[in-house]
Amino acid sequence: MGLALLNRVDQAEPMTPPKITPETLRAQAVEALRDPGARRLELQRQLDLVDAELKPLIKEAREVEVTLERIRELTGVALNTIRAWTK
């Protein structure tokens, strides 16, 4: 009886993995981007609010001769951004 069972197993159709299509891969990539992308967009929104608060303060600091480097150290704002905001 054992041989008959083996013969039936040998004759069974091999299982084929589900077909992976470009559309499936794109859908998986989009889904993987969804949560971290949403977090990044929220952080960017918050950063924009902080930048709006910092911009006049940085202008004022430059008017009283706080150095670019000191402003960068205190705020994390790039030197070129500080220059652009204080033109």
Domain residue limits, the chain:
21-85
pLDDT of res. 12: 59
Q: How many CB atoms lie within 10 A of CB 55?
A: 16
Helix ranges, 12-78 (H): 22-63, 68-75
pLDDT of res. 18: 81
pLDDT of res. 17: 81
pLDDT of res. 7: 55
Rounded CA separation 87/72 (Å): 16
Q: Is the pTM of this model over 0.75?
A: no
pLDDT of res. 9: 54
Mean pLDDT by 10 residues, the chain (87 residues): 54 75 96 98 98 98 98 98 96
